[in-house]
Structure 1
Amino acid sequence: MHELSIISSVINMVEENCRDNNISKVEKIVLKMGEFSYINNSALIFAFESLSKDGICEGATLDIEKVIAMAYCKNCNKEFHLEFSKKECPICNSYSMDITNGYEMLLYRIEGE
């Protein structure tokens, strides 16, 4: 369950940012997760609720935004939605490995007081 280690790292980053910015209570954390990261959102939320107890993140909302996988076609000079098993441009059918979005795992925003 790598979701546990991901959330542990997220909480550490949040706590460090809160110390640096004098935030004493976290209200909301927004993560952006690429659709190819294959993270189980339920497991991520469960891990967050478990690891945030008795800390600055306890009771905070964890918002997980899905980032659609995209690739760039050098032949058409267009970006297109990508599927894991289908990496051809829908316009010219050229194969593209120039993936621009979809694998990211980002701590996007922290809201607190």
Structure 2
Amino acid sequence: MHELGITRNIVEIAERHAREQGATRVNSLTVQIGALSGVIAEAVEFAFEACSQETLLQGARLIIDAVPGRGRCRACGAESEIDRFTYACPHCDALALETVQGQELRILELEVD
């Protein structure tokens, strides 16, 4: 489960930024996870409590902003939702979708004391 390592890194990055700002506690952490990022949001949620123990994030609320996958067809130019399994354009059936959204994995916001 690579989400454990990813979650550990998220917590480390968030804690470092909170300390740099003089925070003594993180109340909430908002993370953006795209549907095409290869990261399972539920696994990050599951690992968060364990990874945040004995850090400034212990007891913090994790907020996940889920971003759907979107693609633009290089053949017809249409933009549509896509998933990890189907990259065919629903408008023209071409296998030419270029990903325009859904690969995100980033910290958006920290609420600190």
TM-score, normalization by structure 1: 0.85
The corresponding residue for 1:78 is 78
Once the 2 structures are TM-superposed, how far is the Cα of residue 56 of structure 1 from its aligned partner? 0.4
Identity of aligned residues (%): 27
Contact 2:26–2:60 under 8 Å retained in 1: yes
Which structure 2 residue ranges, 5 or more long, are not aligned? none
Structure 2 match to 1:29 = 29
Supply the distance in 1 between the matched residues of 2:30 and 2:67 (Cα, whole angstroms): 12
User: Cα RMSD between the aligned structures?
Assistant: 1.8
Q: Which amino acid aligns with 2:61?
A: T
Aligned partner of 1:106 in structure 2 is 106
State the TM-score, normalizing by the size of structure 2: 0.85
SS in 2 for 1:98: strand
Distance 1:42 1:85 in 2: 19
- Shift in Å, 1:96: 2.0
Unaligned ranges ≥5, structure 1: none
